[in-house]
């Protein structure tokens, strides 16, 4: 049986374990990036060296070779965003596989800071999509594995209102050029750093809660309509948003629903569609205030503005300007299982909404909410009534049994049957 060693290169040739060094020296063929083969040349003088790090190509080379002992050098630690994951998959059966861990940039950075890392949140921005602002919002310490994108990280944090957040920056860890410095996100935007850089964000005010029904006075307002706290709470409960969902807030207004949707879908994304320039500015301002980093604003009138928007799992329609039926049709065309919630205040609008749900093959559930808020008047607290609101919901698991699917209502079918 052929032997395959996967060896974490750690922070350099001086940081690997004695076992890993011995395994390298006994190898007949060693694979890895050219940089690693050069750096570890002292351990692999008498073997064949192949500059290759694609797992499938390495597998093909190993199976075609008449040699029996192979090693693959992978950067950093084998268990931390490493190429070893795929290598372990392709060599899982029919090979004598052994993994030798190395020292990761995570270990090295917190050691340089003189701190433990067991409570830190870990996030890779190296070729991956990560909601950096949300990670910082939820955690007291967040470790970012970066590439040549530290300025992008700083930009994301600043856009989410974290321009003054404290960052620790470590570059070229483990080398003679190692440097660890402290700065803010605003300062990081202007720094020229090595491609081998990691960042740790400190947030003493971390808050991992998912808030619903946030008090109205916490939002920045203006003259743009806003869905009130109680209505917001019930409406979003009807959407049933989970952390990894993609959502849309259509007619987003001040962005109050956008903010709460983004807090619930903290691993996903929220698209806020708004045609009023003042509303767009308020959405941006409220996202900054609540440190939201997973919202993309689409300025324009729905449904035309939604044409290039990806499919969403849940959509809240707070304002449609007469285009509700077409908005729903587009949402369903992109995702037949989308969950939709609509708010209306006028009886005529309720009728239009029910017609739109039926036309798009959705069974509608209607809830009418009447709320009143106390207000101090002298010695007394008086209840001040708010406008009754109709909350219409449907879709998702509740797609009507008579629907053709794909957003086409069964009214198009003979006798309403498929």
Per-domain boundaries in the chain? 3-103, 106-202, 216-416
Half-sphere exposure of 310 (CA within 13 A, CB side): 11
* 416 φ/ψ angles, rounded to the nearest 5 degrees: 70, 20
- For the record, the structure tokens of 100 come out as 């030798």
Q: What is the CATH number of domain 216-416?
A: 3.40.50.150
* CA–CA dist 341, 349 (Å, integer): 14
- Name the residue among 113, 102, 115 with its Cα closest to residue 76: 102
Q: Do residues 331 and 394 lie in contact, with contact meaning Cβ atoms separated by under 8 Å?
A: no
Give the count of beta carbons closer than 10 Å to the beta carbon of residue 303.
20
Average pLDDT of the residues in 366-379: 90
* CA–CA dist 154, 165 (Å, integer): 10
What pLDDT, on a 0 to 100 scale, did the predictor assign at position 175?
87
* 317 φ/ψ angles, rounded to the nearest 5 degrees: -115, 105
pLDDT at 192 over 70: yes
Torsion, Cα 34 36 40 46, to 10 degrees, reads -40
- Residue for token pair 């300062």: 187
- Residue for token pair 């798009």: 360
CATH topology of domain 3-103: Cobalt-precorrin-4 Transmethylase; domain 1 (3.40.1010)
* 289 φ/ψ angles, rounded to the nearest 5 degrees: -60, -40
The length of the chain, given as a count of residues: 418
- Domain 106-202: CATH class, spelled out: alpha beta
What pLDDT, on a 0 to 100 scale, did the predictor assign at position 124?
92
Q: Taking CA 413 as the corner, what is the angle to CA 408 and CA 414, rounded to the nearest 5 degrees?
A: 170
48-76 pLDDT per residue, tens: 999 999 999 999 999 999 999 999 999 98
The mean pLDDT value of the chain amounts to 91
- Name the residue among 312, 368, 298 with its Cα closest to residue 340: 312
What pLDDT, on a 0 to 100 scale, did the predictor assign at position 126?
81
pTM of the full structure? 0.83
* CA–CA dist 323, 194 (Å, integer): 51
What pLDDT, on a 0 to 100 scale, did the predictor assign at position 84?
94
* CA–CA dist 187, 299 (Å, integer): 30
- Residue for token pair 């009507």: 400
pLDDT at 415 over 80: no
Helix (H, G, I), strand (E, B) or coil at 344: strand
pLDDT at 117 over 60: yes
DSSP 362: B
What pLDDT, on a 0 to 100 scale, did the predictor assign at position 137?
95
What pLDDT, on a 0 to 100 scale, did the predictor assign at position 314?
97
Contacts of 41 (CB under 8 A, 6+ apart): none
* CA–CA dist 43, 13 (Å, integer): 9
pLDDT at 322 over 70: yes
First to last CA, the chain: 58
- Which stretch of 74-78, 120-124, 175-179, 397-401 has the lowest confidence by average pLDDT? 397-401
């Amino acid at each position: 049986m052929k032997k395959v060693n996967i060896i974490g290169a750690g922070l350099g040739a001086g940081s690997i374990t004695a076992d890993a060094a011995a395994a390298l020296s006994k190898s007949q063929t060693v694979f890895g990036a050219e940089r690693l083969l050069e750096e570890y040349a002292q351990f692999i003088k008498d073997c064949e060296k192949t500059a290759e790090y694609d797992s499938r190509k390495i597998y093909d080379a190993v199976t075609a070779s008449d040699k029996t002992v192979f090693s693959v050098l992978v950067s950093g630690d084998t268990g931390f965003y490493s190429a070893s994951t795929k290598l372990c998959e392709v060599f899982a059966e029919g090979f004598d596989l052994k993994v030798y861990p190395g020292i990761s940039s995570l270990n090295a950075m917190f050691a340089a800071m003189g701190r433990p890392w067991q409570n830190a949140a870990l996030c890779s921005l190296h070729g991956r999509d990560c909601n950096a602002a949300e990670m910082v919002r939820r955690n007291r310490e967040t470790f970012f594995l970066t590439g040549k994108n530290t300025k992008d990280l700083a930009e994301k944090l600043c856009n989410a209102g974290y321009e003054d957040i404290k960052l620790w920056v470590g570059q070229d860890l483990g080398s003679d050029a190692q440097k660890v410095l402290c700065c803010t996100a605003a300062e990081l935007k202007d720094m020229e750093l090595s491609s081998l850089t990691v960042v740790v964000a400190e947030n003493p005010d971390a808050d991992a809660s998912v808030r619903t029904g946030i008090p109205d006075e916490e939002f920045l307002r203006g003259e743009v309509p806003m869905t009130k706290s109680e209505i917001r709470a019930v409406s979003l409960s009807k959407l049933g948003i989970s952390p990894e969902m993609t959502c849309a807030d259509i007619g987003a207004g001040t962005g109050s629903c956008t903010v709460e949707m983004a807090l619930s879908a903290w691993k996903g994304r929220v698209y806020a569609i708004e045609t009023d320039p003042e509303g767009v500015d308020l959405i941006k301002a409220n996202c900054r205030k609540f440190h939201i980093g997973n919202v993309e604003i689409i300025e324009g009138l729905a449904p035309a503005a939604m044409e290039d928007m990806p499919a969403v799992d849940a959509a809240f329609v707070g304002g449609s300007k007469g285009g509700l039926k077409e908005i729903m049709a587009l949402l369903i065309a992109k995702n037949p299982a989308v969950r939709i919630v609509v708010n209306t205040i006028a009886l005529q609008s309720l009728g239009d909404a029910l017609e739109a749900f039926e036309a798009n093959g959705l069974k509608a559930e209607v809830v009418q909410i009447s709320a009143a808020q106390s207000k101090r008047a002298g010695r007394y607290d008086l209840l001040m009534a708010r406008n009754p609101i109709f909350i219409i919901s449907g879709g998702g698991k509740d797609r009507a049994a008579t629907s053709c699917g794909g957003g086409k209502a069964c009214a198009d079918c003979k006798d309403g049957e498929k």
